[in-house]
Every structure is written in C-alpha cells, then in structure tokens.
Structure 1
Amino acid sequence: MSEQDEARPPRGGITRKQLLRTAIVAAPVPMLLGAGPVLGRADAQDAPLQPTPMCDDGDETHEQIEGPYFKPNSPLRTAIASGIPGTRLTLSGFVFGIACQPIANALLDFWQADDSGAYDNSGFRLRGHQFTDARGAYTLSTIVPGLYPGRTRHIHVKVQAPNRPVLTTQLYFPGEPRNNTDTLYDPALLMTVRTVSGGREATFDVVLDVPGQPPTTPPTTPPSTPPSTPGGTTWADGRTYATGDRVTYAGVMYRCLQGHTAQPGWEPPNVPALWQAA
C-alpha cells in the first residue's frame, strides 16, 4: 500500500472522529433526544448505524510543541500556496467539542515548510488562518510539505474555539519512512491521505477538550456604542471592523489586524490573529 492511499489507522477500532464525520457529512447535524448528533459508523455497509449521543472516550486531539517557526498575524485565507511549486494538497475536516457538537467559528492557524523543506520567516508564504463555517468545517488548499533534517513531513496548526484555550499541534502523513525516526511523531495525529487527479486530498477532524456548541449565525446589525476614548471606541459584538481600527476592551487599547465582523468569543485578548495591543 502506498503512502498516498494508506488511510489513518484506527485507534482501538472505530474512532469518535469517524462517527462524527459520518453524521455531519450525511445531514445537517441531527439530534438524539437533544443530547448531540446521531452518529453512525463510518465503515458500516449493511449493518444498522449505532447512535452515539455522547463523546467521552478521551479522543481529544493531542497537543504538540509549536516549534521555532510560528509567526503571529498570518493572513486570513484558506489557500496558502498560490503560485508556490509543489504537489497540491487539499486538507479538510471538522472541529468538534467533547459533547459531539461541531464548533462554528473556531480559529485554525496553519503554517508549514515549502517543497524543499524551508519555512518563510520573513513573510507569510505557506501561512494563513481561517475560521470554521456553521457546520464546524474547514478546508485548506496548500502543498505537500518537504523534508528537513530530523523531521518527517508535517503541517503545524493552532486551533481555538471562541473564547477558549489554544490547542497547538502537528498533522502527519501516513507511510512516511521518517515517521519511524522522528521523535515528535505521534500516530494519533495521522491524516487520512489519498492521491487524486492533480495532487492529494487529506482529512483530519480536530476534537477539542471544550464543550461543543450548536451552529450559530453571527449578528449582522451593529449596536450603537459611543466612543470610550478619543480616537477609539469600545469593542462591540456585531460591529464591523477594518484593518487599522482601534478599540478599547477592559481598559486596554487594541489595533485591528484583519477586517471582520465581531461576535462573542472574538474579544481582542482572545483572538490574537484579529487584534494586537496598541
């Protein structure tokens, strides 16, 4: 079996992420007695689907070190390899909480090496952040990272549910010879990877050790908030901010790094990709 066609090995049989993915992809998050999505076995053929209303099996995504090449304030974008040579890779998945609920508006910040194994430390090539949609889904368009001394192929990511701690981890490719010698490699962080026309496709579902939340729609009507200090306003849920806008929150002034519409959980101290202390 080639590395491209080798699927992520199950840990102790069917994993929670497989069950969650089946339910979310198949239908708009059905509920079982109000407790969570009705989940089905990903590999079931003729057997009836088993409902799994709770997620308490310890399948949370493992944490790993940040490494030396992380840079804050990456661009807001889902395609991070435009014009960069290499094997095209589309990575997709979902972000869930431990209550079987998808997490909408979760922040994912990706960074990786290029085809030759080098990181861009002066700019933002192969770096970018995005937010999950209302289903808790994300998609990243990139390239397969190259190798550099001492490491196997991997992609770095930080994941943060709104107003929750940041998970820092790394995602790995199955079938890589260096998986056996890389001391940081964790088989629990293997993506499912396959070869497709024009490149590869990979999937990985993140499970955060936080309560999930039903899909939500961000508010669209900005409230009226008077300025709190000259040249700035108090941060407000629902207000649209442009790059360079300044606000105060909890008595601290912040500068907007990316244009966006504010919503609960995106307060300046909680999302460093959007706000920087001024």
Structure 2
Amino acid sequence: MPASEEPLDVPTESATSPRVSRKAVLRAAAALGATPLLARGGVALARDRTTKARSLEATPSCHDGDEPTIEQIEGPYFKPDSPLRTSLVTNSTPGTRLTVTGYVFSRTCQPIAGALLDFWQADDNGNYDNVGFGFRGHQFSTSQGAFTLTTIVPGLYPGRTRHLHVKLQSPGQPVITTQLYFPGEPRNSTDTIFDARLLMDVRQVGPARAATFDFVLDAPQGPTTPPTTPPSGTWAAGTSYHAGDVVTYGASTYRCLQAHTAITGWEPPNVPALWQRG
C-alpha cells in the first residue's frame, strides 16, 4: 500500500508515551518494509519515516493488556478440510475486493508463528458454498505472526450483518472460533450475534477495501528449550504429502488431509487442518 494512501502510525518517543508496544512496532515495520530489531527481550524499529536512522528505545515489557479475542458461534456452514491458501478469489470473481491483514499475538504481546487461521464466508450474493470450497481456505501465520487474506466483502443474507468466520489455533493449543465484522453496517444494531469487540478497521482503497484485525490468543508463551533430537517417526520436513498419506510422529499415527509440502513448524500435532490423528 503506498504510504500516501494512509498516514502511517509509526511509534515515536515522547514524554507522554515512554513505551512503544510490540504491536505498534510490528505494524509500522510491516508498513515501511523494515525489519524489527529484537533487543533485551523487547522490540525497536530500525528506522523512522525519514531517511535519518534513529533507533527507538527497546521495550523490556509489554503493557498492551489486551484480553483474548472473544469466541463466537460456528454457525451452520463450516466445512473441515479447506484448501491451504491465502486468496479466496480469482480475477473473475464478482464482488468488492477485500484484503484483511493483521497479526496473531499471545497475551504477552509476542507474535505467534505458525498459528492456524481457517476462514469461511458468504459470496457476493450472501450464499455459502456447501458443495465445494468456494470462499473457504486456511493458512498459517508467518514467523512474525502476520497473516493476509484476499477475498471479497461478503454479501448479506437474512438475519445477519456482514461478517467473516474464522477458526484459530496456536500450535498445540485448543481451537477457538469467532467472527469479524465491518463498521458502519446498518444491520450491526439488529444482529443478535454482533459484537463490537470484533470490528475490523476498514478503509476504502480505490474500488476495493482494506481491513486490519489483530487476534490475541490465550496461549502460553515464554522461553523454551528445543529438544536435542526430534521425535522419531516417518514424517519429514521437505516431503510432499498427498491426501490419504499416513505418517508417524512421536508415538502417534497421522493421516494427511490436504496435499502439501511439509515444513518445520507444521509437524502433525501442530496442524490439525493438515493431519488427522489415528
């Protein structure tokens, strides 16, 4: 997104704002194409918006204080085994283009890498694809906890305001289910499920829309010591697996649900969208 289309909320030091949250730094770094610097357990921005290099004071602790993202009902239209993809549209897909970006954080404001995000929604006419996998897809957050979804603004159907469905799972933690909403929708005031805490920040970008939302998961996160040897089994990073393939990992057997090339972090216990135990 060109910087001229929206002012960047770049954190700066001031007497009234002595600390810079990890979330603000990650957003600013992504917008500027910069790489956050990790220092003393905190985060500093490599450069500000000018050409003059200026390191921000490291933040030794996080004071965002965000509560976990609230859960909502799944609804009647969820289907398991969605395709692994970040875009739910093609060039010919009807509807107003929508790009949703954000981060997945723990309650300690640390980005969660490899978190599962499984999205589904109605099409431009307010219909769900219950035969195939139209407007359905899952992905995993990046090493910085970021995600991007390319889709359309969902159509309306009786009884509901516009919304996106999503299931999230931090690696090895329970799945939570929730919904995301659009500000300024007339039906927000009459939808009995709507919750303002799940409103996205949405702006118009030419004929399209761009939205942001950060998820916060109640996931334990702290210093960990990686095992000296990986668990035994036939699963291996770099292998191309097909639906129906069976592997072992640790003391368990898993069946592949979706064709993919395995990477470190997508071990079978961590990604139930790709592997079914037993």
Among 79, 88, 91, the alignment partner of 1:71 is 79
Name the SS for the 2:43 alignment partner.
Answer: coil
- 2-structure distance, mates of 1:141, 1:186: 23
Equivalent position of 2:261 in the other structure:
260
Greater relative contact order (CA < 8 Å, ≥ 6 in sequence): 1
Q: Which amino acid in structure 2 is aligned with residue 60 of structure 1? A: P
Partner residue, 1:103: 112
Q: Which residue of 1 aligns with 2:239?
A: 240
What does 1:117-266 align with in structure 2 at a 5 Å threshold? 117-212=126-221, 234-244=233-243, 245-249=245-249, 250-264=251-265, 266=266
Task: Give how far 1:62 is off.
Answer: 1.5
Query: CA, structure 1 residues 51+253, in 2 after alignment: closer, same or farther (shift >3 Å)?
Result: closer
**What is the RMSD of the two structures over their aligned residues, measured on CA atoms?**
3.3
Report % sequence identity.
Answer: 58
Aligned residues: 243
- Structure 1: which 5+ runs fail to align? 1-13, 40-48, 215-222, 226-233
Match of 2:95 among 83, 86, 95: 86
CA contact 2:254–2:275 (8 Å) conserved in 1:
no
Aligned position for 2:9? none
Quick check: 1:238–1:263 contact (8 Å CA) kept in 2? yes
Structure 2 counterpart of 1:116 = 125
Change (3 A) 1:147 1:177: same
What corresponds to 2:43 in structure 1?
37
Q: CA deviation at 1:167?
A: 2.1
Q: Structure 2 regions of 5+ residues with no counterpart?
A: 1-19, 46-55, 224-229
Q: Which amino acid is the alignment partner of residue 35 of structure 2?
A: P
- Report matched runs for 1:50-69 at 5 Å: 52-55=59-62, 57-69=65-77
d(CA) in 1 for partners of 2:160, 2:197: 17
Partner of 2:275: 275
Measured in 1, the distance between the counterparts of 2:194 and 2:97 equals 23
Rounded Cα–Cα distance in structure 1 between residues aligned with 2:130 and 2:89: 15
Alpha-carbon separation, structure 1, partners of 2:231 and 2:109: 36
Q: What TM-score, normalized to structure 2? A: 0.75
Following TM superposition, by how much is the alpha carbon of 1:268 offset from its aligned partner in structure 2, in angstroms?
A: 3.1
| Structure 2 match to 1:46 | none
Q: CA deviation at 1:51?
A: 6.3
